[in-house]
Chain A
Amino acid sequence: MNMKKLKIGLLIGLLGYLFIGNIPVEAGALSLSLDPPIIEINALPPSTVTSTLSIQNKSDNQVHLIIQVKPFRAKLENGELEYFNSEDSLMLSNIKVLDNGAAVESVTLGPSQQKNLILSINIPQDTKTSDYYFSIIFVSENSLSPTSNASLNQLGIATNVLLSVGQKAIPDAIIEEFSSGLFFEKGPVPFTIRLKNKGIHFIKPKGNIFIKNMFGQSIGKLDLMSVNILSDSTRAIPNALWKEDFLLGFYTATLNTSLSNDGPNFTRSINFFAFPFQGMIVIIIVAIAAIIITNRLKKIRTFS
């Protein structure tokens, strides 16, 4: 096989691979990405805060996106939010999205185009000390004219902004719940941790759970996910799971949480008990079988 044939072969192979590997894109699909997913701001008035938003049209079609600013509050204890209508002047007039320095209310993106925009928030001197929670939402505009019965779809994507205006006071929060089951046959052990923020600013507590056995030895440590807790709301800390399979005896779990880098700190302990019934039953059956076999062997030896 000479070089010419090899080259032709490789070319055919490459073309074949490209043909096979080319995944068709759905016509009319909408696809968006937005970064960052969250922006947390602490500001003292007066100030003008800016931050970059990167929006990308990941579809093969041009898309016209309307930019909306919507205030939100906590809906559930898992970080889900709900929007509400607000007449707050800060929301309406002082938040702008800039494209090349000019405020825009919409943006058009070509196929696969990505654009960096600037979120600009002007905080005047007389802004009251408080928290402001809002989303910047990019929603596609559907201008199709249906020729038969149809639903036109629009797609939007949001980034959340947590804005604290004013000097941050010492966080004020309580542990509403720290619990787990009382009895386990085996791990993992899930913990329920719910913290209520009673202050006027959002907080982001850090914490961990230390687990000790009945002999007082530390046998496990679980670092908790640091999540935002909005003002006057309760949040459950997700993924609080001690991934230990074999458990036996009496355990003490101690929650240590710090509401900020400067405190305050809280500690609370709970107890639980574990006994592997199924495993023990197997061990007992094996032990009984071993005893029976040993006795039989002894009898046979004695008899012989």
Chain B
Amino acid sequence: MTFIRRTIVTLRSGLIGLLGCLFIGLFLTTASGQTMSNKDYIIKMQDINTVSGLTGGTNYKPRPTSGEISSDVLKGVNFKVRTGFENIASHLPFSVTLSSDLIDFGILSPTNPIIRTVDLRMHNLPLHGYSVIAFEDHPLRKSPDASGEFIPDTTCDNGGCSQENAGEWTNTLTYGFGYRCDNVTGVDCSNSFSNSNFYKHLPDISNGQSSQSVMSGIRAKNKETRISYKVNISGNQAQGIYSNIITYIAIPNF
């Protein structure tokens, strides 16, 4: 009986402690200090000083900072350097996150489209805006490359979509590889994807196509989009493992 009572008392104090910690955690503001670490060290900085290093020329060695100071001007004998924007909304460095480095389509079967997604998140955007461009190294190609077999980039149901223009793709007899962009936070996907069945194909740099913007915006808030890849093959497609590399590059506006 005594043991049960003690256990109850201990659990009750544990619950109080847990609630206390949660309460404190809920109302604590996020610390703005920055941590840098690897296997050998951990450095915690109280101040946000995202760039602090030597900048200089032949005749001087000034010490630039950015972060709390959003723009910094450095003058040398023959030059002047300004880093960062003067009127940025965020004091944290421009960041981008992609939820996965691998999109596995699994086994492909004819006229059975496969759709897989990846999330693209932007953080601490400059007030002037940004864009994310994307391209593929080549269409989904069978390994080894020497076989020459590939799944073509989609041109959608009416044959009219491209790396620049979106088109409807619902027909299971339309084959190829394409993508679409859906807004999760913000409205930075292209308006051409406003119809839920509209797709484009990624620019193929092996074919001389130039990279295209998949999301862009100008308001300084965190943004998130979901990129959906769709692949559909015909019955004539040779069996094998098809793959390619898709590159996303986040670029602040100048």
Contact = CB atoms under 8 A, between A and B. Distances in A.
A150 B102 contact: yes
A146 B82 contact: no
B19 A47 contact: no
B97 A146 contact: no
Interface in B38-97: 38-39, 50-58, 64, 66-67, 74, 76-87, 92-97
A91 to B, nearest CB: 16
Interface centre among B108, B210, B248 (most CB of A within 10 A): B248
Contact of A47 (B58, B95, B229): B58
Contact of B254 (A113, A157, A230): A230
Given A36-B66, A50-B56, A83-B211, A149 B97 contact: no
Interface in B229-254: 229, 231, 241-254
A13 B58 contact: no
A149 B84 contact: no
A218 interface: no
Interface centre among A34, A51, A144, A238 (most CB of B within 10 A): A51
B126 to A, nearest CB: 5
15 contacts: A12-B14, A29-B98, A31-B98, A39-B81, A78-B253, A112-B36, A116-B52, A135-B251, A144-B101, A149-B104, A150-B102, A151-B243, A152-B102, A152-B245, A157-B249
Nearest to B103: A151
A227 B128 contact: yes
B100 A228 contact: no
Contact of B241 (A51, A146, A151): A146
A14 interface: yes
Contacts of B250: 32, 155-158
B10 A133 contact: no
A6 B13 CA distance: 6
Interface stretch (B20-28, B159-167, B168-176, B190-198): B20-28
Contacts of B19: 13
A14 B98 contact: no
A150 B39 contact: no
Interface residues of A, number: 90
A35 B251 contact: no
Given A17-B22, A78-B253, A79-B254, A153 B127 contact: no
A43 B87 contact: no
Contacts of B95: 31-34, 58, 157
A148 B83 contact: no
B94 A154 contact: no
B152 interface: no
Interface string A7-39: 011111110110011000011111111111111
B225 interface: no
B115 interface: no
A151 B16 contact: no
Contacts of A177: none
B78 A43 contact: yes
Interface string B95-133: 111111111111110000000001000011011110100
